[in-house]
Structures are given as structure tokens and as C-alpha cells.
């Protein structure tokens, strides 16, 4: 694979991952905006604009509506906290039409936002909200964000809130598009069989923006949204209870680690991957819970680490006590031989991922969004980082997440006063 970075005169960054032995192309167009750039008054606008993008692109196809809807088989779009992504798979001969389509998705070349489409997408999102609000995961995720991110925009729901969705008008959408859907605020990653010269020429042709440069405005908006984000980097810790009538209780452990560079993040994510395997194996076998998951969610300046599970209410104290015991055993028993085996497995998985243009594009694009394009992170580069991992790195990551300072524990469901007292006592004796 050959990876090259090119920046158009208008500021659009292109990352080209050339795979000449494939018949497919994969496109990842990322706009550096999401719910973290919102406030309580316009929460949900980023997700609404993403919905409208798909509607606007298909609206220009001279075919029947049911054929337009077939786009969903190749196209996907989603909004996260710090970015909005538009992804497309296509045949290698379709470079030109897909680039034209993607340019319409991000409102280039004078695409007009239609009021009828706006009202349609608002109704669809309201139904999406209702559907999600009935899910336990959605309920607890909302509560967790409000506890952990109480002082910054990361607490906001990506989907928005119904009151905001109903009142959004065309002017709100246009203002948001003008502020953030700028070429200098986007990264286009393409992986597959193509010539980079052709890609750059076509992108320069189709990604035309009539709006004046908003680079300074975008930077000021970023500073405004991120100025209070440090509130979560140094969390207060403690144990929190959420009373809810449910057949299962929920337990989550949360900690944060500041990001220094991409190399360290690659190693830390590797650590979290095999910690997830370890916890899942031993906790499920002892408690008989269906799922236990360790995960890490990375933002621009810090990473949020979590361990989450659900189980019958009478297992809550046992789960929490056993969680601490298994963590202690993990650190005590991890040795050079085990780490070598885990590294070899990870290297094999990365080697397999090289067979899929989509995996290459997603990985490279994500790191470029978070850390910039000065250093391009490929699967080969990631393999070099994994090879360099030592036991002292793993122990350092472990200490950051469990020892340097206590994390935040959130327990939801049916928890009796007696259980609360016992859990608080276990928390006060937290030693791993």
C-alpha cells in the first residue's frame, strides 16, 4: 500500500491509500464537527445536517425514489462527538461519480437545502429519539455523560433533544453549514485501486465551495466549545448511584488519560483490547453475566476509559468485589511470555486488516483527524508500535487507569440502602 497526502488550494486534505490489486474503492469523508461543537440551544444540529446531506445527494438523481433509496446499500453516514463521517464503497471504475456525489453531501457546488427535506428529516430523527429512549443502554449512557461530563458539551446527546429538533429552521442549518462544512475543516480519505493524480484532479473539480473562507471563524468556534473540556480530564471520582426499576443492574468504571501523541495511544488501545479479553473471560465465568466490556473513547486531548457490565441486582456487590480481585491478579500474573503472545496475535490481525481498503481508510483517517497529517498512521506503522510495547508500558497504562487516582464508578438499577453502604465501603478500600 502506498499512502500520500495532498492538500487542495481550497484547504481540503486528501489522503490517498493506493491498493492496486483490488477492484473496490472505499471513501471516507470526515467533517471535523459533532455534538461537542454544540450547546444546549442547538444540540442536535450536527446530526440533523448529516441526515439532510444524504437526502440532498439522492434528490439530484434522475431516477425513481425506490432506486434512490438503494444508496443505503453502499453509503453510510454517522455523527459522533468530534466528527461527522460519510462513507461509500464503490467499484474502481466509479471514482468520478462517487466524488461528485460526495461533494454534494458536504454542500459543495451550490447544493440547495430544501425545506421539505428538512421537515422530513426532523420527523425521522424524532422517531429515532423515541426508539433510542426506550433502550436501557441509551438511558444509562445519558446518565453517565451527565455525571462525567457535567461541565462541558460532551454531555450532550449526539441525536439532540426533541425540543431543539422541532424548532430548527433553514437558517439554523445554513448557518451551521457555513460555519463548519468548509474544505479546510474536512479530510477525504480514499483507499483502493486508482491513480492519485486522477483523484486530485477530480476532487479539485467537484469540491468547489462558493462560501468565503471561514477558517478563523471555525477556530474561534472550536475554542469556544473546548474551553471547559478540562473539567472531565481531572474527574472528581467517587461512586454514584442511579435508581431505576429494571431487571438488571448496571455498573460502569470510568477513568481518563491525557493524550500525548499517536504512538502512545496505539499502545494504550492495544492494552485495553487484551484487558477487555481478560476481564470478559474471568468475570463472565464467575458471575455468569452476559457481557463485560472494557473500551476506550479518544478525544482530541484525552481518552476516556471504561469497563461496563449488566447483571441481576443480587450480583452487584459480588461483581464489584470480584472486579477488583481480577484486576489485581491481572497485574500480578502478566509476564513477558504472555505479552509476547498477545503482541503476535495483534500483529496478525493488523496484517489481515491490510486486505481490506475500508480498514485502511478508517484507521488512517481517524488518526489524521485527531493528531493531524504530519505523521500518517498506517497498519504497517501501527505494527511497528505494537512490536515496541514493553511490560513497563502496560504497567504504566494500568496505573494511569486504576492507581494514579480513583476513577468514577456508576451503579444503576435496584440498589438497596444496605447494598449502597456495602458498595461505598468497597469503594473506600479500592486497592488494585
pTM confidence score: 0.88
Q: Which of 192, 226, 260 is the last residue of a domain?
A: 226
Contact predicate 75/54, CB 8 Å: yes
Output 389-394 pairs: Cβ under 8 A, ≥24 positions apart: 389/267, 389/270, 389/339, 389/343, 390/339, 391/334, 391/335, 391/336, 391/339, 393/267, 393/271, 394/271, 394/334, 394/339
Instruction: Give residue 118's pLDDT band: very low, low, confident or very high (50, 70, 90).
Output: very high
Q: Do residues 149 and 265 share a domain? A: no
Check pLDDT > 90 for residue 397.
Answer: yes
Q: For 296-336, write each residue's pLDDT tens digit.
A: 998 888 899 999 999 999 999 999 999 999 999 999 999 99
Q: Which of 192, 210, 226 is the last residue of a domain?
A: 226
Bridge partners of 78?
85
Look at residue 72 in the predicted model and tell me its pLDDT. 44
Instruction: Give residue 151's pLDDT band: very low, low, confident or very high (50, 70, 90).
Output: confident
Contact predicate 187/30, CB 8 Å: yes
Q: Do residues 187 and 334 share a domain? A: no
Instruction: Give residue 58's pLDDT band: very low, low, confident or very high (50, 70, 90).
Output: low
Residue that wins the pLDDT comparison between 228 and 269: 269
Instruction: Give residue 227's pLDDT band: very low, low, confident or very high (50, 70, 90).
Output: very low
> Residue 270 sits in which domain range?
234-428
Instruction: Give residue 59's pLDDT band: very low, low, confident or very high (50, 70, 90).
Output: low
Check pLDDT > 70 for residue 384.
Answer: yes
Q: What is the 3-state secondary structure (H, E, C) of 101-136?
A: HHHHHCCCCCCCCCHHHHHHHHHHHHHHHHHHHCCH
Q: Do residues 402 and 298 share a domain? A: yes
Q: Do residues 119 and 264 share a domain? A: no
Contact predicate 95/194, CB 8 Å: yes
Query: Mean of the pLDDT values across residues 136-142?
Result: 88
- Give 131's Cβ-side CA count (13 Å radius): 7
Query: Mean of the pLDDT values across residues 202-224?
Result: 66
Instruction: Give residue 67's pLDDT band: very low, low, confident or very high (50, 70, 90).
Output: very low
Query: Mean of the pLDDT values across residues 170-198?
Result: 92
Q: Do residues 249 and 337 share a domain? A: yes
Specify the CATH number for the domain of residue 387.
3.30.830.10
In terms of Cα–Cα distance, which of 211, 332, 311 is closest to 252? 311
Percent over 70 (pLDDT), the chain: 88
Check pLDDT > 70 for residue 117.
Answer: yes
Contact predicate 270/428, CB 8 Å: no
Total number of domains in the chain: 2
Q: Do residues 174 and 214 share a domain? A: yes
Q: Do residues 248 and 222 share a domain? A: no
Q: Which of 203, 226, 249 is the last residue of a domain?
A: 226
Check pLDDT > 90 for residue 162.
Answer: yes
Q: Do residues 12 and 130 share a domain? A: yes
Query: Mean of the pLDDT values across residues 163-167?
Result: 97
Q: Do residues 196 and 242 share a domain? A: no
Q: Do residues 249 and 107 share a domain? A: no
Burial 230-259 (b: 16+ CB within 10 A, else e): eebeebeeebbebebeeebbbbbbbbbbeb
Query: Mean of the pLDDT values across residues 19-30?
Result: 88
In terms of Cα–Cα distance, which of 45, 184, 56, 181 is closest to 122? 45
As a residue count, the chain comes to 432
Q: Do residues 352 and 308 share a domain? A: yes
Q: Do residues 162 and 305 share a domain? A: no
Q: Which residue has the cell 498506517?
A: 378
Contact predicate 365/188, CB 8 Å: no
Q: What is the DSSP letter of 384?
A: H
Amino acid at each position: 500500500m502506498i499512502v500520500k497526502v495532498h492538500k487542495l488550494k481550497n484547504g481540503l486534505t486528501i489522503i490517498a491509500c493506493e491498493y492496486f490489486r483490488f477492484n473496490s474503492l472505499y471513501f471516507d469523508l470526515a467533517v471535523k464537527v459533532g455534538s461537542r461543537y454544540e450547546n444546549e440551544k442547538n444540540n442536535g444540529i450536527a446530526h440533523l445536517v448529516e441526515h439532510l446531506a444524504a437526502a440532498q445527494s439522492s434528490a439530484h438523481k434522475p431516477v425513481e425514489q425506490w432506486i434512490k433509496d438503494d444508496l443505503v446499500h453502499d453509503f453510510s453516514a454517522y455523527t459522533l462527538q468530534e466528527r461527522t463521517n460519510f462513507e461509500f464503497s464503490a467499484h474502481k471504475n466509479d471514482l468520478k461519480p462517487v466524488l461528485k456525489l460526495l461533494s454534494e453531501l458536504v454542500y459543495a457546488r451550490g447544493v440547495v437545502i430544501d425545506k421539505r427535506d428538512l421537515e422530513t428529516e426532523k420527523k425521522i430523527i424524532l422517531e429515532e429519539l423515541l426508539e433510542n429512549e426506550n433502550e436501557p443502554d441509551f438511558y444509562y449512557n445519558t446518565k453517565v455523560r451527565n455525571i462525567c461530563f457535567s461541565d462541558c458539551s460532551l454531555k450532550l446527546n449526539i441525536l439532540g433533544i426533541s425540543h431543539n429538533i422541532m424548532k430548527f429552521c433553514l437558517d439554523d442549518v445554513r448557518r451551521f453549514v457555513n460555519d463548519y462544512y468548509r474544505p479546510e475543516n474536512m479530510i477525504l480519505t480514499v483507499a483502493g485501486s486508482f491513480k492519485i493524480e486522477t483523484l486530485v484532479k477530480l476532487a479539485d473539480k467537484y469540491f468547489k465551495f462558493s462560501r468565503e473562507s471561514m477558517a478563523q471563524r471555525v477556530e474561534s468556534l472550536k475554542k469556544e466549545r473546548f474551553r471547559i473540556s478540562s473539567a472531565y480530564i481531572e474527574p472528581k471520582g467517587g461512586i454514584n448511584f442511579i435508581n431505576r426499576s429494571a431487571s438488571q443492574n448496571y455498573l460502569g468504571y470510568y477513568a481518563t488519560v491525557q493524550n500525548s501523541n499517536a504512538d502512545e495511544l496505539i499502545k494504550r488501545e492495544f492494552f485495553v483490547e487484551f484487558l477487555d479479553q481478560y476481564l470478559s473471560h474471568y468475570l463472565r465465568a464467575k458471575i455468569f453475566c452476559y457481557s463485560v466490556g472494557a473500551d476506550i473513547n479518544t478525544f482530541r486531548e484525552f481518552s476516556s476509559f471504561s469497563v461496563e457490565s449488566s447483571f441481576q441486582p443480587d450480583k452487584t456487590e459480588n461483581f464489584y468485589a470480584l472486579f477488583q480481585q481480577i484486576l489485581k491478579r491481572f497485574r500480578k500474573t502478566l509476564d513477558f511470555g504472555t505479552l509476547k503472545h498477545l503482541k503476535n496475535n495483534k500483529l496478525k490481525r493488523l496484517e489481515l486488516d491490510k486486505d481490506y481498503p475500508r480498514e485502511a481508510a478508517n484507521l488512517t483517517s481517524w488518526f489524521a483527524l485527531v493528531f493531524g497529517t504530519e505523521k500518517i498512521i498506517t497498519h504497517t506503522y501501527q505494527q511497528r508500535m505494537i512490536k515496541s510495547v514493553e511490560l513497563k508500558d502496560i504497567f504504566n497504562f494500568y496505573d494511569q487507569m486504576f492507581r494514579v487516582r480513583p476513577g468514577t464508578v456508576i451503579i444503576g438499577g435496584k440498589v438497596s440502602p444496605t447494598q449502597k453502604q456495602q458498595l461505598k465501603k468497597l469503594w473506600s478500600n479500592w486497592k488494585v
